[in-house]
Amino acid sequence: MLFALMLAVSPAPAATDLPNFEFRGITAGVPVDEKTTKGCKGRDDLEGYRSCVTLSDSLAGVGASTVVSYYNGKLSSVYLTSSQGNYRTIADAFKQKYGKPCDVRQEEWKSRGGVTIENTIVTWCFKSGRLQLNEVGGKLGEMSASYSDDNEPPRPQPKVDF
């Protein structure tokens, strides 16, 4: 009984024990060559930031839209959306590639119109970031996933002009 209790409250693995995140051959924390980001859009207000948008993409054999962002030549984030009907396919592919998630939880999702449904959120932990898969994305009928790395651009300062 004591052993089971110790397992239940054991601390999360240290970041050094976690794997590096990898997406389509791009590994978090490893510099990418310039041809990887060629054709990606930059931002005038943020030097070193590039964002590659693919609206008609494929992931795990299903249709998706993806945005892969880089900051200072390294992966910064990955965001994807797909039809909510593709959630199980993408979740299974993530589990196969990334292993056991570090967190699974249910949250209530509410639309602007007042529709409320349960949303399964699955999270995988990596050395320098987290991948979160949402059964319900930004709108009803859509699922989403996002990887956020520690290598993120600085947040712009708010413009106080009042």
**pLDDT for the residue numbered 67:** 96
Tens-digit pLDDT profile for residues 120-147: 999 999 999 999 999 998 888 899 999 9
Mean pLDDT of 135-160: 89
pTM: 0.83
Q: What is the dihedral of CA 99, 148, 132, 27, to 10 degrees?
A: -20
8 Å CB contact between 26 and 75: yes
**Per-residue confidence band for 87, with pLDDT thresholds at 50, 70 and 90:** very high
Tell me the residue type at 141. Answer: G
Is residue 16 over pLDDT 90?
Answer: no
Q: Distance between CA atoms of 9 and 11, rounded to whole angstroms?
A: 6
- Chain Cα centroid distance, residue 2: 36
Bigger pLDDT: 12 vs 140: 140
Is residue 52 over pLDDT 60?
Answer: yes
Q: Where are the domains positioned within the chain?
A: 17-38+48-149
**pLDDT for the residue numbered 1:** 38
Q: Distance between CA atoms of 160 and 135, rounded to whole angstroms?
A: 37
Q: Among residues of the chain, what percentage have pLDDT more than 70?
A: 90
